Amino acid sequence: MAELPEKLIACHDCDLLQREVPLGKGCMARCSRCGAVLYRNATDSIDRTLAFALAAAVLFVVANNFPIFSIETQGDQSAINLYGAVLSMWDQDMKPISVVVFLTAIVAPSVELISMIYLLLPLKLGRIPAGYTLFMRTLQYVEPWGMVEVFMLGILVSLVKLTNNFKVIPGIALWSFGALTLLLAATAASFSARDVWARLWKGGAREVQP
């Protein structure tokens, strides 16, 4: 098994270059200049992140295939899901908003979850995923664009306004989006690129062609 060489790390806040030091389980290293957290020794971060990502993926599928809410008026009931809402905005000449919602509420979260599971599941099974460098870069670029929580806030505001004139029935997707928001936040908080690279290195990733 390959050993991790002594490495240097730059502080994200003040850019001070300093050496990495071994940490005890659950401990963290702070910058000697500004005190910012440099890294943590979260030995189970890969397992926890994978569990959160798999649960979030299930809820993401549910949230995109079931109605967000239904509106009942004069005995008639109509329901809409996320993709239907995107198409409706496109048909109503709100194309820029439709594209933004599609990218931030559908594309970005799906790419993030797929990349996360593709990387972490093989590592959990003791394997090195092919093309891991591409997926690590993808996670870095796509993470800021996932805005499910903003979409969720917009839904809640719309529901409050609609209840003044119609009977609104929350759908299963609404609850799924609420839980999905929490799980995505937990996934982002538990994910450690440092731990992923360490596991890749120990698994011989230097010999693997991306």
Note the pLDDT tens digit of each residue in 110-125: 999 999 999 999 988 8
Note the pLDDT tens digit of each residue in 27-47: 788 888 888 887 777 667 889
- Which residue, 150, 166, 121, 116, is CA-closest to 136? 116
Highest mean pLDDT of the ranges 24-28, 102-106, 141-145: 102-106
DSSP states of 72-95: EETTEEEEE-HHHHHHHHHHTT-H
Confidence grade of residue 207 (pLDDT, cut at 50, 70, 90): very low
Highest mean pLDDT of the ranges 35-44, 52-61, 82-91, 197-206: 52-61
Place of tokens 């870069």: 137
Distances (CA, A) of 68 to 60, 78, 116, 207, 208: 12, 11, 26, 47, 44
- Spans of all domains in the chain: 1-41, 43-207
pTM, rounded to two decimals:
0.75
